[in-house]
């Protein structure tokens, strides 16, 4: 009992610091990736909403999405992106994998954006 009063319980402090350090490492990897994925999804939705403009062909929309993904450093390739129209509706399908590398583990996050908007 007397040892605890003098601050002799250092193991708990070290374990606590290790848990906090691990949480910080995870947050530093995950948060930027989540923000980039959400930003690309929002961009795809905005592109779908403007698809009825004459200058916005499927190819133009696809190139804009690929350029935005490159800007956000997301691994979206042309093979993983489909843009097409069907009787007044535009569809955007984007599939890619974000790899999050941690010191002792690698997480493969498969991302899918399926967007469907009616054109006006």
Going residue by residue through the chain (120 aa), what tens digit of pLDDT does each one get? 455 555 556 788 888 888 898 888 888 899 999 999 999 999 999 999 999 888 889 999 999 999 999 999 999 999 999 999 998 899 999 999 999 998 889 999 999 999 999 987
User: pTM to 2 decimals?
Assistant: 0.82
d(CA 47, CA 107): 30
Expressed in angstroms, the distance from the first to the final Cα of the chain is 76
Strand partners, 85: 90
């Amino acid at each position: 009992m007397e040892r605890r009063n003098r601050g002799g319980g250092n193991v708990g402090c070290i374990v606590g610091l290790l848990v906090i350090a691990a949480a910080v490492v995870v947050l530093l990897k995950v948060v930027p990736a989540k923000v980039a994925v959400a930003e690309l999804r929002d961009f795809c939705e905005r592109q779908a909403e403007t698809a009825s403009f004459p200058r916005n062909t499927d190819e133009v929309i696809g190139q804009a999405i690929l350029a935005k993904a490159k800007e956000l450093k997301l691994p979206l390739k042309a093979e993983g992106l489909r843009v097409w129209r069907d009787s007044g509706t535009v569809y955007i399908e984007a599939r890619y994998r974000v790899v999050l590398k941690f010191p002792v583990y690698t997480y493969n996050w498969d991302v899918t954006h399926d967007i469907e908007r009616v054109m006006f």
